[in-house]
Structure 1
């Protein structure tokens, strides 16, 4: 077993151990993948100011998300098809998150069902909802999430239509994979993955098959999914879903200060500055570039929600940079998926351990012992980092 010291080590193992179509599903963006690349590249433009001769003892990177204490201000983001990266992947990720002390968010498009994951998840078990045109399905899945003990609903706003991801189309990506000669040859090189998959009954979308009207298997599932994303989703529908849920409510996919203000007026408990990992609107700015304008727009707002940053985080230093620019917390997707695909539950734990160590040491080198002390002063930010755009990024100012 190679020595694992960084997220990139887990990424390399993930690529070796997961079928090509599912690794590509994780490691890809839409269209030219410009936004996908800039999500990570833009973090590298931010530099730290080192401080010396400061007391580094008794440090803590603990934080709070939605009023709950967390081991660090990081939640596992909703990612579809995790049960295809590793058998029972959502269950393994939820167990790792529970043991570590951070929240886990289950995707609507998970392989394991809400009910299956609930048996293994901790108190920070959240459910992510895609709004479908089948209102009966939406109502039912919200009620299922309530019964399963999910403590927050995360509503994704930036997937009313599916962004074109070339790799998924070329791989003819399905769950479970079609048994074509190309797929069989590739799976033959992943014996550990294949054996684990043979040992689980969870190989399709557990939240949908048998729950959506008329969806009984792969053929009608793909047809149903292709037609179901709600093109008419608007703020009034968002409000109705919030009222229907009746608990902590999070809006994911905010990339505009005006939308952040609308979310605050709606009464969202948290918003997630996210471009869906670069998988939707290619050419959109990276989440870390957008973050400062959202923070400024909500400054002093009487209903200011928590502001979280998602998309592009690959290290604990990225987490620290996001907090320094005003994020209250962060979400990670690919960083833990690499661990899951590489080593299952132990890999998710390893990813979290790596991130925490990097976050802790970087905070100390910047002169702080608590994350609540961290401000923009620890960063050296390029003068044009937020860009010079024809249309202001911050219409509230």
Structure 2
């Protein structure tokens, strides 16, 4: 692991600052920004970092281990790579880089329906271990076709997204005319010319597209028509009627992502979900939202009925430890890994996983905590 760490970038913030220098502004702002005034994205991390942990030095705890189980699968660390849309726009070929790194380090990689690598390639790179996140189609036939492909690719876990009933109001993306491919305004062209490595890699790997959906998108659509197609084809609104046929058809583990309340947790248990991911979409949907760590507090009491995971706001190994001590069984990060790839290219996935593992291991050792599941014993209760 030590050889995979570039000592010039020992933190996620170091990677973020390097990524900002290598990525056109329109793509970096899509990755880095939240919605409206960015209140939610800032609150997520600041609230996580209010959590305090207490070490116990004077007892014989033995060697600590970062291994953990979730969804019946064992991983080498209690964090995975969250689904991120338009990954190839932010850094060319980034989903492949991250899928390879996740498989090498034995952590889960979650593929988004609207990213720039298809289900089959994700399965190939991870030997059938990639999770798949479904943006639920309006039409049952298309939904079933995508589910059949995920099943054929041996995806062990299907993740349903529930926190995008509408698209967040993102001033930066509106200003930048963000689309796929990006709008070629004079401003955006100048940004691209100023980032030659990004531009060269985009030429090398080709313009990013929604690869999983490629066969379903009519040819020759302009950007406006593609937007209409996506709005017409997918709906982020979920309810029991729309979820039941998915639960009936999908034979693997089923997870609901975007849960932010105890009420929705109880509904998820009732509908037969195996797990939930407490999330507010990385602060990109509702600027008035409660932070994820705050939402988690009212949900953890139901951990004996459903496996509880968390994303949004996590940026380091200590953040992961704080979330698990607060009741999450597992965690995911999205932006952090994208910063890593944008900063370091093909080496960015392995580097980011390696430093996060090392940070988390250090916290475990410092707390004298032998097992990941023992972290809640080190939580300091604060008002």
Matches within 5 A, 1:136-155: 136-155=141-160
Question: 1-side partners of 2:126 and 2:91: how far apart?
Answer: 17
Residue 380 of structure 1 corresponds to: 380
Q: Retained in 1: the 8 A contact 2:161–2:236?
A: no
Deviation for aligned residue 1:217: 4.0
Residue 251 of structure 1 corresponds to: 256
Q: Does 1:168 align with 2:173?
A: yes
Q: Retained in 2: the 8 A contact 1:130–1:159?
A: no
TM norm structure 2? 0.94
Q: Retained in 1: the 8 A contact 2:181–2:207?
A: no
Question: 1-side partners of 2:84 and 2:236: how far apart?
Answer: 21
Residue 189 of structure 1 corresponds to: 194
Shift in alpha-carbon separation, 1:326–1:226, aligned structure 2, 3 A: same
Shift in alpha-carbon separation, 1:313–1:112, aligned structure 2, 3 A: same
Question: 1-side partners of 2:285 and 2:234: how far apart?
Answer: 14
Residue 333 of structure 2 corresponds to: 332
* Per-residue Cα deviation, 1:304-333 (whole angstroms, up to 9, x for no partner): 121001101001111111111111111111
Q: Does 1:110 align with 2:111?
A: no
Q: Does 1:199 align with 2:236?
A: no
Question: 2-side partners of 1:88 and 1:231: how far apart?
Answer: 27
* Per-residue Cα deviation, 1:33-68 (whole angstroms, up to 9, x for no partner): 211110101012112223334446522111012111
Deviation for aligned residue 1:232: 5.0
**Secondary structure in 2 matching 1:251:** strand
Question: 2-side partners of 1:353 and 1:80: how far apart?
Answer: 23
Q: Retained in 1: the 8 A contact 2:162–2:236?
A: no
**Secondary structure in 1 matching 2:179:** coil
Residue 390 of structure 1 corresponds to: none
Question: 2-side partners of 1:349 and 1:233: how far apart?
Answer: 35
Residue 179 of structure 1 corresponds to: 184
Unaligned runs of 5+ in 1: 384-397
Q: Retained in 2: the 8 A contact 1:254–1:273?
A: yes
Deviation for aligned residue 1:158: 0.8
Which of 24, 28, 42 aligns to 1:37? It is 42
Deviation for aligned residue 1:340: 1.5
Q: Retained in 2: the 8 A contact 1:91–1:121?
A: no
Q: Point out the more displaced range, 305-314 or 197-206.
A: 197-206
Q: Retained in 1: the 8 A contact 2:95–2:117?
A: yes
* Per-residue Cα deviation, 1:106-130 (whole angstroms, up to 9, x for no partner): 0011112222322212443011001
Matches within 5 A, 1:1-397: 3-55=8-60, 57-201=62-206, 203-212=208-217, 214=218, 216-219=220-223, 220-230=225-235, 232-296=237-301, 298-300=302-304, 304-375=305-376, 377-383=377-383
* Per-residue Cα deviation, 1:50-92 (whole angstroms, up to 9, x for no partner): 3334446522111012111101111211000111122221111
Deviation for aligned residue 1:335: 1.2
Question: 1-side partners of 2:59 and 2:147: how far apart?
Answer: 49
Shift in alpha-carbon separation, 1:120–1:175, aligned structure 2, 3 A: same
Question: 2-side partners of 1:215 and 1:133: how far apart?
Answer: 20
Deviation for aligned residue 1:382: 2.8
Deviation for aligned residue 1:182: 0.9
| Higher relative helix content | 2
* Per-residue Cα deviation, 1:147-206 (whole angstroms, up to 9, x for no partner): 222121100011121111111111111122222211111111111111111111352111
Question: 2-side partners of 1:292 and 1:42: how far apart?
Answer: 12
* Per-residue Cα deviation, 1:343-393 (whole angstroms, up to 9, x for no partner): 133212111111111111112222212212221x4233431xxxxxxxxxx
Unaligned runs of 5+ in 2: 1-5
**Secondary structure in 2 matching 1:207:** helix
Shift in alpha-carbon separation, 1:215–1:258, aligned structure 2, 3 A: farther
**Secondary structure in 1 matching 2:276:** strand
**Secondary structure in 2 matching 1:15:** helix
Aligned residues: 377
Q: Retained in 2: the 8 A contact 1:85–1:340?
A: no
Q: Retained in 2: the 8 A contact 1:18–1:341?
A: yes
